[in-house]
């Protein structure tokens, strides 16, 4: 049985102004060592907030409660200095939007170098060597090291984000919809890259998406979020083949198949609410 790299117990997030409104409502789940857990759910279901709470980057207007155990240490109880040391080194995150996460006026080489230098005291020549290795690892030609983000394609920018996240060999990588803005062929390449890196470096991954096609490709375990709660969880094949919750069934009904033979069924929220109330 694999050990849990991260275990979340009863995590809740609400705003400081409206303390009755739970944006994330008492969720518990874990990610096993060397495995990928996918969080799937529609827009606004609380996926990104859950991810941000793990690296303690929630907006100051929000308040969280519960336990987030990383290798049995509670992240919620760490000092700002302790969590800063964990970020990047043990836990890295790829954010939803690569263009807003990269600095447009700095070259990609410089930005990857900075990511390495934050957590290491390697001399300059070794850092430069590591930048080259990372570019090769993520499949960007080394001669592009002095390019600016806007000189790269969307897929290449996302690869730069992955190189930065990989710069310190994190034990857990959180990827928040890293392929949403990309076309399907580039999406498939990035998913394969992440999966290969996970295996090569024995990393664990928490992968956020609203796309069940992506879940099928990359997940070992899946949790389904709806309105801040987990409504279904389990081993990926089990959830995909035998979904139990009406929302999971409804979401699966919206996944197109490549040949376009399947009749797509948009979610009827009134019907869904009635089905959930009958549970």
Ligand X SMILES: Nc1ncnc2c1ncn2[C@@H]1O[C@H](COP(=O)(O)OP(=O)(O)OP(=O)(O)O)[C@@H](O)[C@H]1O
- For ligand X, the binding residue among 36, 37, 45, 53 (CB under 6 A) is 45
Q: Which does 15 bind (CB under 5 to 8 A by kind): Mg ion, ligand X, none?
A: ligand X
Burial (CB count within 10 angstroms: exposed 0-12, middle 13-18, buried 19+), residue 143: exposed
Residue 209 CB, nearest distance to Mg ion (Å)?
10
Q: Among residues 94, 146, 136, which one has the least CA distance to residue 115? A: 94
What are the two backbone dihedrals, phi and then psi, of residue 84, each rounded to the nearest 5 degrees? -65, -35
Q: Which of 2, 3, 10, 44: binder of ligand X (CB under 6 A)? A: 44
Q: Does 210 bind ligand X (CB under 6 A)?
A: yes
Instruction: State the virtual CA torsion across 68, 72, 76, 82 in degrees, nearest 10.
Output: -130
Per-residue contact track with ligand X, 7 to 26, x per CB under 6 A?
--------x-------x---
Q: How far is the CB of 226 from Mg ion (least distance, A)?
A: 14
- Considering only residues 21 to 60 of the shown chain, the ones binding Mg ion according to CB under 5 A are 48
Tokens read off for 209: 């998406």
Q: What is the helix, strand, coil percentage profile of the chain, to 5?
A: 40, 25, 35
The site that binds ligand X (CB under 6 A) totals a number of residues, namely 14
Which of 58/194 has CB closer to ligand X? 58
Nearer to Mg ion, 116 or 215 (CB): 215
DSSP-H helix ranges across the chain: 47-54, 80-86, 98-101, 108-118, 124-138, 154-166, 184-201, 212-218, 236-241, 246-253, 269-277
# chain residues binding Mg ion, by CB under 5 A: 1
The Cα 180–Cα 42 span in angstroms is 13
Q: Token pair of 48, please?
A: 């990104």
Applying the rule CB under 6 A, the residues between 53 and 112 that interact with ligand X are 59, 61-62
Task: Tell me the β-bridge partners of 9.
Answer: 67
In angstroms, give the least distance from the CB of 269 to Mg ion.
20
The binder of ligand X chosen from 4, 30, 31, 46 (CB under 6 A): 46
The residues binding ligand X (CB under 6 A) are 15, 23, 41, 43-49, 59, 61-62, 210
């Amino acid at each position: 049985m694999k050990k849990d790299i991260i275990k979340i117990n009863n995590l809740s997030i609400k705003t400081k102004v409206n303390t009755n409104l739970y944006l994330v409502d008492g969720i518990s789940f874990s990610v096993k060592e060397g495995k990928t857990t996918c969080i799937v759910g529609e827009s606004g279901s609380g996926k990104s907030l859950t991810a941000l709470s793990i690296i303690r980057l929630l907006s100051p207007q929000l308040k969280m409660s519960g336990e987030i155990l990383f290798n049995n240490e509670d992240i919620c109880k760490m000092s700002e200095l302790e969590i800063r040391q964990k970020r990047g080194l043990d836990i890295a995150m790829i954010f939803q939007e690569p263009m807003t996460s990269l600095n447009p006026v700095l070259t990609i080489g410089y930005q990857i170098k900075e990511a390495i230098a934050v957590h290491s005291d390697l001399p300059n020549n070794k850092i430069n060597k590591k930048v080259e290795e990372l570019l090769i690892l993520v499949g960007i030609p080394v001669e592009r090291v002095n390019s600016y983000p806007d000189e790269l394609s969307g897929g290449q920018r996302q690869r730069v984000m992955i190189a930065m996240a990989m710069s310190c060999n994190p034990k857990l990588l959180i990827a928040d919809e890293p392929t949403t803005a990309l076309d399907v062929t580039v999406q498939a390449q990035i998913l394969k890259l992440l999966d290969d890196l996970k295996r090569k470096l024995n990393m664990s991954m928490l992968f956020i998406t609203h796309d069940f096609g992506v879940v099928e490709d990359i997940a070992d375990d899946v949790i389904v979020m709806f309105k801040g709660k987990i409504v279904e969880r389990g081993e990926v094949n089990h959830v995909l083949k035998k979904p139990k919750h009406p929302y999971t069934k409804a979401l699966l009904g919206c996944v197109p198949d490549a040949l376009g033979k399947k009749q797509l069924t948009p979610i009827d929220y009134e019907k869904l609410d009635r089905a959930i109330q009958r549970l």
